[in-house]
Structure 1
C-alpha cells in the first residue's frame, strides 16, 4: 500500500462550528470553553447541527461533519459508495437513551434506533450512500483514535482505497454530568490546566469530527497506529504509566507529542510517568483539551483533525497561554514537526496512539 494521507477533515466543537472557525480560534490563542450552568465546558454553538427528525442528536452531528469532509475530499459518488466507514463514540446517542431529546420527536417511531450506538454509523452510511462496510467503535476515550487506526489498517491490508472516519460525543446532559461527578472526574475548582499539581478533573466538551483517508493522497500522512490495554482498573490508569510506555516503545520517536491530558489528578501523573519511561528526553507537548474541553470518544480524532489541517496550512499554533509545564518537559510547540504522536487512554485501561507525518 502506498502512502496513506489525511486528505480532508471537518469538525464542530467548542472552538467553532466548522474546522475553519475552530482553527481560527486556536490560532488566536483562545479557549472555546464557557460557563454552562455553572460548569466550565465546551459547547457547540450551532444547535441546528444536532437536530433532525429521524436520527438522534449524535447521529445528526455525525452526518453533518461527514458530508462536509467528503465534499472537501472531492470524492465521486462511486468512490463514496465503495469507501469503508469507521465511526466512534463513547456515549453515543445518550440524550435519546436518557429521554432528554423527546421534545424534538413528536413521533416515537424511531425510539428503538435512536438508542443504538451503531445508529451513528448507520445514519452516515444511509445519508451519504456508503455501501462499503461500517463499524462502530466504543472504546471510551480511545474510540476515535481506534477508529482511525482500524481504518488505516484496512487500507494497509489492501482491503479498500478510501476510508471515512467519524467520531462524536455529546456529554453535556445532567445525568451524564452527575455520573462523572459521582466518579470524581469533573473539575472541582474550575482550573483549566491539565498538568498542574492542583488540577482536579476534566471539563466536558461536545464535538463531532470526520476525516477522510486515501491511498496516495495529498495531505499529512498516517504513519503508525498501535493499541494495548493496562488490565488494571475500570477507572484509573496505573500511576507508573508502564502500560502506556510499553505501547509508545513500539513507535518511532516523535518531534511532538499531543497527550490525552484530561486534567484528572490520576491522569496528570500517570501519563507524564509514561512519557518519562518511554523517552530519555520527552518531546515537546501540545495540550488541546484546554481549548476544546474533553470530548470523550471524539477527543482523539478531533485533535488529529485540528493538527492535520494546521499542518496542511503550514504550521501548528501553540498551547494556551499560562499552562503549567512540569519540570523536565516543554510546551514550546515546533511549527512544522515531522512526526506528531497523538495519545488517547480510555476508561477501563485501553490505550491507543497514532503517528502523523508532514506532507
Structure 2
C-alpha cells in the first residue's frame, strides 16, 4: 500500500509578516515589504533595496542562549518550526521520535554570522592574517549549514533522518520534496520540513550586484520587484523562513489531525546548461512539472493555480512561461499564475518553502495571491499573472515551481484534501 503525505501545520517568518497569519494577510492585501536596506549602509551598492523581516527573536520565543549561538537564518527556522508544530497539534510526547525527521533547506547558510566573524578577526579586512582570538566560540556552527537542521532536530527530539538540502534557490522546494519522499519510502511518519535564509548582508548584495541580477530601482523600493512586467530590472533580495509539518496520511488520521492538503507529487531536474543561464524553451522545468503531475496521477488540466518562481529577471520570467506552456499545453492560458516575490522579495533558498506555505494557504482559503506591481505586461509573458489584486477562487490543485543557479529546476503539486 502506497504511503501518502499530508500537511498538518504551517509556520512562516517573512518580510511584512512574522507569523503565518500576518504573512497571509499581507499577501492577500497585495502589500509589498520591500524597502531601502536598514541592516547596513547600502550607499556603495548598485542595488540598495531588500525585503527585510521585522524580526525580534526574543519576542518570538527564543532563549538568550539560542540567540547567542544561532545565526539569523537558524533563528528563522526555529521560530517557523515552533509555529508549524504548535498548529499541527502534535503531541510530541506521543510521537515515535525514531520516525520523526527533519529536512531544512538553505542556499547560503549563516552568511550574516560568517561575515560578522570575518570583520572581527580581520579588523574590517585590514589584516590578511586573521586573529583567531576574536572568533566566536560558535563559529563552527556558522560554518556548517547543517546547524539549522541540528537546532530544529534537537528542539523537537527528532531521532529520524535529519538533513540540510542546499540546492541554491530551489532549496526550500527540494527540502520539502525530500521530506515527502522520506514519508513515501517509510523512513519517517512525521517530517518537520522547510527552509530559511538570511542573505541581506554586504557580501551577498555585492555578489548579485556584480552580475547585475538585482533591481537598481532604489528611488522606488516598494515597486521594485516586478515579475513579468516589461519594465522589470532584476529581483529584490529578501530573507525569511517557512516550515511545514508533513505527516503520513494514516498517522495524521489516527490522531484526528486537521489536514490542510496533500503533497501529491515532487520532481526536480538539472539543465546542465550554464551556471546562471537558462534554456529559453524551459525544457527541464517542464519535465519536472510533468513528472510531478504523473506522480500525482493528474492531467495538466487539473492544475488551477501556479505559484511561479517569478524572480523578476527577464531570463527567468520568459523561461518559466515557456515551461508552463510546454507542460500544460493550451491549459496554461486558462490557469492563474502569480509570483509572491513581488511582495516578499527573493530569499534565495528559503523562498521555495515560503511559496509552498502560500500554496497551502491558497488552497485552504480559496484565494490566489496577486503579482504586485505588474502594470506593463511583457509581450513574451502572455499568461494570466493575476496583476496587483488577489482573486477569490477555489483551488483544488496548486503547482509551485523553482529555478536556481546551477541549473536546478523543481516542481511540487499540492492537492486539496477530501476525506
- 1:316 corresponds to 2:368: yes
Q: How many residues align?
A: 358
Whether the aligned pair in 2 keeps the contact of 1:220 and 1:308 (CA below 8 Å) is: yes
Task: Output one character per residue of 1:51-90: Cα deviation in whole Å (capped at 9) or x when no partner.
Answer: 7112222112211211221111111224273311101000
Map of 1:265 onto structure 2: 314
Alignment of 1:292-303 (within 5 A): 292-303=344-355
Counterpart in the other structure of 1:249: 290
Q: Which moved more, 1:144-153 or 1:315-324?
A: 315-324
Contact 2:4-2:184 within 8 A present in 1 as well: no
Contact 1:15/1:26 (<8 A) preserved: no
Q: How much has 1:265 moved relative to structure 2?
A: 2.0
> Per the alignment, in what secondary structure is the counterpart of residue 230 of structure 2?
coil
1:223 maps to 264
Relative distance call for 1:63 and 1:131 in structure 2 (3 A) is same
Give the distance between the partners of 2:336 and 2:81, measured in 1 at CA. 32
The residue that corresponds to 2:242 in the other structure is 209
Gaps of 5+ in 1: none
1:329 aligned residue (380, 383, 388)? 383
Which residue of 104, 113, 118 maps to 1:96? 113
Whole-angstrom distance in 1 between the partners of 2:261 and 2:214: 34
| CA-CA distance at 1:20 after TM superposition | 0.7
> Aligned pair 1:127/2:155, yes or no?
yes
* Partner Cα distance (1:274, 1:27) in 2: 26
| Aligned 1:76-95 pairs, distance under 5 A | 76-78=91-93, 79=95, 81=97, 82-95=99-112
Q: In structure 2, the residue corresponding to 1:249 is in which secondary structure?
A: helix
SS at match of 2:337: coil
1:221 Cα deviation (Å)?
1.1
Give the Å deviation of 1:112.
1.4
Q: Distance in 2 between matches of 1:346 and 1:320?
A: 22
Aligned to 1:115: 143
Alpha-carbon distance between aligned partners in 1 of 2:349 and 2:236, rounded to the nearest angstrom:
14
- Unaligned ranges ≥5, structure 2: 121-133, 219-223, 253-258
Contact 1:336/1:358 (8 A) holds in 2: no
Give the aligned CA root-mean-square deviation in angstroms.
Answer: 2.3
Question: What secondary structure does 1:356 align onto?
Answer: strand
TM-score (norm 2): 0.80
- Where has structure 1 moved over 3 Å in runs of 4 or more? 100-103, 313-319, 321-328
Partner of 2:278: 237
Mapped to 1, the partners of 2:306 and 2:147 lie a distance apart of 33
33-42 or 347-356, which moves further after superposition? 33-42
- Matching residue of 1:33: 34
Counterpart contact for 1:261–1:289, Cα < 8 Å: yes
Displacement of 1:102: 7.8
Superposed CA offset, 1:159-209 (max 9, x none):
221111020011110111000110211113353211123322100111111
CA contact (8 A) 2:73 2:197 kept: yes
The aligned residue for residue 323 of structure 2 is 274
After superposition, give the CA deviation of every residue in 1:206-256 in whole Å (9 maximum; x if it has no partner): 111111011224111111100010000111111222222222232241212
- Change beyond 3 A, Cα 1:270–1:331: closer
Structure 2 CA distance for aligned equivalents of residues 267 and 62 of structure 1: 27
C-alpha displacement of 1:2:
4.7
Per-residue CA deviations over 1:38-62 (Å, capped at 9, x if unaligned) read 7332111024369711222211221
Question: Contact conserved, 2:234 with 2:313, CA < 8 A, in 1?
Answer: yes
The residue number in structure 1 matching 2:81 is 66
Distance 1:319 1:181 in 2: 24
C-alpha change, 1:155 and 1:331, in structure 2 (3 Å) is same
Alpha-carbon shift at residue 325 of structure 1 (Å): 4.0
Shift, 1:6, TM fit: 1.0
Work out the CA distance in 2 between the residues paired with 1:239 and 1:22: 33
CA distance in structure 2 between the partners assigned to 1:67 and 1:222 by the alignment:
21
The aligned counterpart of 1:46 is 55
